[in-house]
Structure formats: C-alpha cells, structure tokens
Chains A and B, each alone.
Chain A
Amino acid sequence: MESQDFQNIATTVRPKLMNLCQSFFDRQELAYDAEDAVQETLMRLWQMRERIGDYQKPEALAMLIAKNVCIDILKLSKEQHEALDETANVISNVQADQAIITHDTERLINNALAKLPITQRRMLMMRSEGMSMTEIAAACEATPTSAKTMICAARKRMMELLMIRRNKK
C-alpha cells in the first residue's frame, strides 16, 4: 500500500472510528480519550498496511482493529486495578542485577513518557514504528508541520525529564 493510500483511508475512516470509540467509552464509563484509541487504531492499521489487500474493505478492517483496541484498553484499565506488585515477582525470576537495571531504565522512560501529552506520546510511537510525518499527520488529524513540531517538542521534553531524573540521583 502506498503512503498516499494510507492517508486517504485514514482521512475517510477517522470520523467513523471516532464515533465507534466514543460510544464504547461512554457506555463502559472508561476515563480514556477516544482520540487515543483512534490514533492507536490507525497506527495498527498502518502496521498492517501490507495485509490490507487481504480484506475486502479497508474500512471494515479499521473497524475490526478499533474494536480490538477498545477491548484491549478495557482489559488494561481493569488490570491496572489489580496486583500492582506483580512486576517484582517477575524480576525475581531473572538474573538479578540485569533485571534491576532494565526495570529501572524502563521505569525511567515510562515515567517520562507518562508526563507527555497523549498525542505527543502517540506521535513518538508512530515515528518509532517508521511512519512518515505525513502519515502521522493523517492518523492524528494534524498537518505534517505540526506533527514534526510536536515530535520535536516531545523528544526535547523527554531529554529534559531524563536529565532532571539523572541530576536527582
């Protein structure tokens, strides 16, 4: 699938995805932003771009992905209320020093990521997946210039947060 094709599909299907995700979150009373679910859906659609031809309609595939995303978010929000100390149990089974370093690094990154606005975080993910600025813009209903600006701001903010954390140690 060409990049232009993805942009066209994303633009066409976006309002329908938004309706679907919004109505789901309203019914389940989930404190999640439907925009985040839509962006995740379009990112997954992009990841599947080579297989879109297997499906009769890209729109139907997008709706199927969106339903998966909504259920994933629902399960994630339930899991967040359960067993917060499970991570420690996982670590104890791995080589101790290495696990602690990895865990610390992950926590460092995740804490910094959590401080970013949702769209900036999502754009970082999309970029790391290999999406171009125009594709990210189409998925996030932005212009390529603003996508670039937001990714730039997100990266610089991440560096600031990592530096602050390092200086505290």
Chain B
Amino acid sequence: MKNLNDTTIRMQLVNRYLNAETTIEEEQMLRQYYAQTDELLTPEENDMRLLIMSSARFAGEFALSEEKADEFDRLMAKKPAKRVALYWIASAAAAVIVAFFLLTSKQTDETPSQPQIANATPKEIAEPQQQESVTEPQPIAVEPEQAVVERPTIKQPKRKTNRNDATITERQVKNMMYAANFTNEQVETYRLQPVGDATIVTKTRGDGTSASYIVCLSDDNEGLHVVPINIEM
C-alpha cells in the first residue's frame, strides 16, 4: 500500500491493470488506495480512479429466494398465449407482401398470355392437360449429343412466354410433390393455381376442410418458399 504513493510505481501498476495483467490482490490495493487518497490527481488519473472504483459498485449481496423460484415455476406453467396469434399475423403479413411482389413483378414481365390472379383457372392435378405440357415434344435446336436430354425446358429455343409456361408446369409438379409430403394428412384433392412464378396450392382433406399455401421455387431451383394463406377453411 505504501509504495502506491510513489507515482511511478502507481502508474506502472495502473498500466498493468489496463492490460489485465494485475492480480486480484493488486487490484484490491489500487481500489483501496483510490478510495482513501486525498492527493490531487491529474485528469487522466482521475478517470482511472473512476474506472477502478466503479468496479467496486458492482459488488453487493443478493437475496436467494424460494418465492422467486416459485414465481418462475408459475410463469413457466402458463401457456405462452400471444405466440400463436403473432405467428399467424406474421404469416398473413408475409402472404400480403408476397402477393404484392408477385403482382408487381408480373406487370413488368410483359407476358400477356399468363393468367392474372383474378381470372386464373384452378387446375386439378389429375388433368391430362398438365401431363401433356410436361411431356409435349418441343422443337429443340440442340447438338446431337444433347438430343438425349429428357428435359426440353432446359434447352428450349422458344420465346420467353413459352418457356415460362413450361417452367410453371414443372414448378407445379414440384409444388405438388412438396405439398404431398408437407403433412401426413389424408388429402383428397389438390388444386394448383399458377400466379406468376408462384403457385397457390389448395389441398382438400377427406373431412371437407382445406388449406392453401403460396408455393414458390427459390431462384436456384433447389428449395421452395411456402407461405400459408389460410388454414382450416
């Protein structure tokens, strides 16, 4: 304690304190020194005093209480009421945003042959029309070694509108596969309604209830975005 009255020694200790190299005992010594000293300190050292003394204010007893533990258990036993509601509000908001995005992107796409949301015709999955569109032979300008490729949509030298039609159909099939695996429910029928790059999938269960989702392939065609838009209609 004595040697801390020597400014040089004190400053060495302070620098070690800043570098977190002091022992707990040395830090305690510094704290005691600054608590008791009436020496006039430089502004820099006064900051250091504040820092070292501030550490002491953290120390304090806390009361360990069984009542608080009981209160904790009581709160944990309660149902988290708001969470489900918030989830569905978020889902509805997401659906609105996605619908807005699809409508906006559609306007700039200039594909007049694509159906608008309002007059899009729902298609039953079993319709032969869909099968035909997937397997329909297309005039393809490909190299001979590429002729064996079974997916005509990849190398189709068609105009944008036609390519989009084929892509939507392929997406519908993928969406259908996803929807079929989405739950273990007994689903009676699926309805697919193409909207721009996405598809509205409505599944009807055996008991007459239905659920709808906006399903959209991700840009890399590796994943699907699914937004529930209404459940248990």
Contact = CB atoms under 8 A, between A and B. Distances in A.
A155 interface: yes
A64 B18 contact: no
A56 to B, nearest CB: 15
Interface stretch (B62-70, B141-149, B181-189, B217-225): B62-70
A23 interface: yes
A124 B56 CA distance: 10
Interface stretch (A8-16, A67-75, A84-92): A67-75
Q: Is the interface of B mostly helix, strand, loop or mixed?
A: helix
Nearest to A28: B75
A99 to B, nearest CB: 16
Interface string A125-169: 101111011000000000000001101100110110011001000
Contacts of B85: none
Contacts of B27: 127-128
A163 B64 contact: no
Contacts of B48: 159
Nearest to A64: B69
Interface in A1-40: 23-24, 26-29
A24 B68 CA distance: 13
A100 interface: no
Interface in B65-87: 65-66, 68-69, 71-73, 75-76, 78, 80, 82-83
Interface string A91-111: 000000000000001101100
B50 interface: yes
Contacts of A118: none
Contacts of A70: 72
Contacts of A163: 44, 47
A79 B11 CA distance: 41
B8 interface: no
Name the 10 nearest CB pairs between A and B, nearest first. A128-B55, A67-B72, A152-B20, A162-B47, A71-B68, A67-B69, A109-B54, A151-B20, A125-B58, A68-B68
7 contacts: A29-B83, A68-B72, A72-B68, A127-B27, A127-B55, A133-B20, A156-B18
Given A27-B78, A44-B62, A133-B20, 13 more contacts: A26-B80, A65-B64, A67-B69, A68-B72, A109-B54, A128-B55, A128-B58, A130-B28, A148-B20, A155-B17, A158-B51, A162-B47, A166-B43
